[in-house]
Amino acid sequence: MLKNILKGIKAYAGTFALISKLKLWKYFLVPVLISVLTAAIIVLLAIWLSGSIGGFIAQIWIWDWGKEAFTAVSNFIGATVIVVIGLLLYKHIVMALSAPFMSPVSEKIEAHLTGIPAHSHTNTTFSEQLWRGIRINVRNLAKEILFTIPILLLGFIPVIGVVSTVLLFLMQAYYAGFGNMDYTLERHFNYKESVAFVKKNRGLAIGNGIVFMLFLFVPLVGIILVLPLSVTAATLKTVEILKKDTLTIKK
């Protein structure tokens, strides 16, 4: 697992140069716009709602003594909840809406790596790619929410709280990597087969997603570069595995 996580991280090396070599930057214009607008909306909502959530939680404390301290803690909890929910929604909204634009990028990279002309695999339409992206990301969002709630509750337990933060980050990384890998997988596998493929190679998904998530903490530049670099890195490793599987089958 750890070895594959490192492979997923190392795949980012050289992605900037590859995108430039294949002249792919123009394909990222719409996804980058989607990314920036989605991030802006979520940040504005976070600013607006964090205080309200904190105030709602603070009402639980009915005593005057310790009211300020409890209110401060409540505001922190409110902000944390908003950040977690914001990250959850951001990546799935952006990945789902960007699917029709990212699939052609992945296809061109695959053609470059394999020498097999584009459109030689399953040829899907814009609407089919969008629907596939929405379906995958809604499924992943539901799974994340299901796992996030108990992990957040763990965070209130002393000492174990640190572990819950790591678990949350790794879980978000896994589903981010999942989405990036699916831009390639949609040409080769159906929905269920893709889910099975990513589960089998979850280390690569986590490694790809770790860098994806770290990019989001870099103001502005992060949300601009996160999709181009992460999708390219995911495609490189996914195609590498697919090539190995094909050679194994032929033998």
Q: Give the Cα separation of 208 and 43 in Å (integer).
A: 24
In this model, does residue 78 exceed pLDDT 90? no
Among 182, 187, 246, 241, residue whose Cα is nearest residue 209: 182
Residues 7 and 244 sit within 8 Å (Cβ to Cβ): no
How many angstroms from the chain centroid is the CA of residue 184? 15
pLDDT at 251: 38
pTM of the shown model: 0.83
Q: Mean pLDDT score of the chain, rounded to an integer?
A: 84
SS3 label, residue 99: helix
66: left (phi over 0), alpha (psi -120 to 50) or beta: left
pLDDT at 250: 40
Q: What pLDDT, in 10s, does the model give residues 51-77?
A: 666 666 667 766 766 677 766 767 677
Q: 42 CB contacts (<8 Å, ≥6 apart)?
A: 86, 89, 90
